[in-house]
Every structure is written in C-alpha cells, then in structure tokens.
Amino acid sequence: MKTMWAPWRIEYILGEKEEGCVFCKGLAPDAELTLYSGRLSMVMMNKFPYINGHLLVSPRRHVAGLDELEADEMGDLIATVEKAVSTLKRAMHPDGFNIGLNLGKVAGAGVAEHLHFHIVPRWFGDTNALTVFAEVRVIPEHLKATFEKLKPHFEKLDAST
C-alpha cells in the first residue's frame, strides 16, 4: 500500500477556526490572499483550493444572500467574476471552469454569512482515480506560487478600474 502525505491539510483540520469573516478580513490592506479589491467586489484565493487558481469572488459588503445585494453590487459582482475568469485564462490557460455559488450551510457554503462565488479552473486530465476513490486531491503547485503568478494580472485590473 502506498501512502500520500498532505501535511498542509492538518492546518485546516486541527487548526483554530478563524474568528470573524474571512472575506471581511480580506479587505485589509495587508490581506495575504486578496488578489483584487474593487469598489464593490473583491477576489481572493481559496486557502484550501480544489486545484491551482481556485478563486473566491465576493461583494465587499457583508451579505449572505443574492436578495440582499443592491442592483449595482449584483452587476459589479458578476462583472468581477467575468474579470477573474478572463484573468485566469490569460495567466493559467485552463481548458474550462466550474463556477458556483452555495447559498446556506445546507447547500455547502463554508462561509454562509458572506456570499461568494467559487471559480475553479479546469484542465484536461486534472482529475484521476485518487480523487474519486481515495478522496485525495493532488495540487501540483504551491498556493504561494499560484498567488505570485496571478497577482500581477489582478494589479492591472486595479489600475484600470
């Protein structure tokens, strides 16, 4: 039998759960994984990604549901999702995307109190039997390396908005 080690997961499993909202904390100027912060929306990297480039797009305002957004926030949020997809296409060249929104704990929202979209880039061959049978993901690039790859592209968005 072979063993695959994923020591980075223990931080998530046993680590103290952060107090407060990760998205609201992501608005701080020194936020570690925030790639973009616009007037009404923001883009962060997922600290525990499904695959390289897994991004989270949320409104800046702390709201749980789509029905709580103002019309300009809704428009900006969807436009920011599109900008993030375009940026991932340029920077990482994926073959496709999974884009989703989980509303409420029962629907799978890990942070139910702050609405957010998941953008998961996909490549041909990025899944294998290990994921299906062993419930283990193999992520080929370190989170910090992906951040460094994406950050310059999102800085260009900041300058243009």
Domain presence at residue 60: yes
Q: What is the mean pLDDT of residues 93-109?
A: 90
Least confident of 60-64, 72-76, 87-91, 143-147: 143-147
- 116 is an active site residue: yes
Buried b (16+ CB within 10 A) or exposed e, 104-143: eeeeebebbebbbbbbbbeeeebeeeeeeeeeebebeeeb
The larger pLDDT score, comparing residue 109 to residue 11, is at 109
Q: How many domains are contained in the chain?
A: 1
Range of the domain at 70: 22-160
CATH number for position 131: 3.30.428.10
Domain presence at residue 58: yes
| CA–CA dist 149, 144 (Å, integer) | 9
The larger pLDDT score, comparing residue 141 to residue 76, is at 76
Q: Are 105 and 112 in contact (CB under 8 A)?
A: yes
Domain presence at residue 69: yes
pLDDT, one tens digit per residue, over 33-76 is 999 999 999 999 998 888 889 999 999 999 999 999 999 999 99
The C-alpha angle 101, 98, 116, rounded to 5 degrees, equals: 25
| pLDDT computed for residue 50 by the predictor | 83
Domain presence at residue 6: no
Q: Which of the residues 54, 114, 116, 118 is marked catalytic? A: 116
